[in-house]
Amino acid sequence: MRQIHEFHVDSTRYLDDHGKPLGALPPQAGNTDRVLAAYRNMVLARTFDSKAIALQRTGKCGTYPSVLGHEVVGTAIGQGMAKSDVFVPYYRDQAAHLLRGVSLTELLLYWGGDERGSAWRKCPEDLPISVPIATQCCHAVGVAAAMKIRDENRAVVCCIGDGGTSKGDFLESINLAGAWHLPVVFVVINNQWAISTPRSLQSGAETIAQKAISAGLPGHIVDGNDYFATVEALDAALGRAHGGKGATVIEAVTYRLGDHTTADDATRYRTAEDLKRAWEKDGIKRLQNWLHDNGHWSPDKEKSLQAECKQTVERAVEEYLAMEAEPPTAMLDYLFETLPAALHPQREQIASKYRGGDV
């Protein structure tokens, strides 16, 4: 018997659970400004998250998916991408959105039931949040194909959860990325849970990263709570994409520290001990420890960062709450570039029903 192909999957981790280096760190650790900016973004994302949940609990925001446990990987994505690259998110990528230029107010509008929350002004080419699982993967390869057709030196980063990798959209898209040699990075954020379904029930494959092999792509695992491992992998994969070397799949292993959304109660399907163990691996605390150990951080700095983030979030909340809803006729005004004549009577009906507003 002749062996045609064998594969291995690498897994990278640089810091232990307490932020102590396990060995030599990658060059990214030497860029203190970038590391500090990463830490600030993670703290801002987490501060925003607890406020959004509080708003939902008090009836001021709709159902909202917590970012807890995803801050590190989102930040690495945001930092790795060039402004001219295109981000194709799923729905738990708040930390990446902030670095792409989505405002906190826009995020609140989206989850607060207002379509203007996806009219992102500062990253106009990024695709909107994708709720139908894994469907965004196909868009990501389409965007990457457009870049390749036009000979542009740009790349796409596409996020997906572990549950999403069970869907054809993911498999079809990595397959096309391999066949067409596309400049795209798939980041699978394996947070162990698809609502209540554990990772073990999604696939018999030992790793998700190895699914990349079937598409002719490299697949790597990183500790998704290890900023250095994650940002190094993103930098390398984006370097490959920009260099015309094709696509990569990164499996960032983390843990969903919150409920699936505010409508979920995770105590129904996972134990307090599991959650406690996951918190011990928290990536934000880990990076804070490392910064502290290396003389870049102090309790005073932490205190003022927390206060600053709180203030930033409060300002966004004020702006969000002060925004009037769009006139109800807006439900037709963006359906087509020009409203077809057939729909004019319905628009008039909406306008007359809600007369009084500027419709």
- DSSP calls for 118-141: G--SS-TTSPPP--STTHHHHHHH
Task: Choose between 29 and 127: whose C-beta lies nearer to another protein.
Answer: 127
* DSSP code at position 20: -
Applying CB under 8 A, the span of 2-10, 77-85, 110-118, 282-290 interacting with another protein comes to: 110-118
Q: How far is the CB of 6 from another protein (least distance, A)?
A: 25
- Choosing from 35, 141, 187, 209, the residue that interacts with another protein (CB under 8 A) is 141
Q: Is 179 in the site for another protein (CB under 8 A)?
A: yes
Q: Is 324 in the site for another protein (CB under 8 A)?
A: no
For residues 150 and 186, the answer to whether their CB atoms sit within 8 Å is no
Q: Is 103 in the site for another protein (CB under 8 A)?
A: no
For residues 221 and 209, the answer to whether their CB atoms sit within 8 Å is yes
Active site residue 269: yes
* DSSP code at position 326: P
State both tokens at 42. Answer: 């993670």
13, 139, 256, 286: the active-site residue: 256
What residues have CB less than 8 Å from 104, skipping those under 6 apart? 48, 98, 312, 313, 316, 317, 320
- Choosing from 29, 144, 247, 305, the residue that interacts with another protein (CB under 8 A) is 144
Active site residue 181: no
Q: How far is the CB of 116 from another protein (least distance, A)?
A: 6
For residues 221 and 11, the answer to whether their CB atoms sit within 8 Å is yes
Q: How far is the CB of 176 from another protein (least distance, A)?
A: 6
What residues have CB less than 8 Å from 120, skipping those under 6 apart? 100, 101, 102, 106, 126, 128
Q: How far is the CB of 321 from another protein (least distance, A)?
A: 20
Residues belonging to the active site: 256, 260, 269
> Using CB under 8 A as the criterion, which residues of the chain lie in contact with another protein when the complex forms?
86, 88, 115-116, 118-120, 124-125, 127-128, 132, 135, 137-147, 149-150, 168-169, 172-173, 175-176, 179-180, 334-337, 340-343
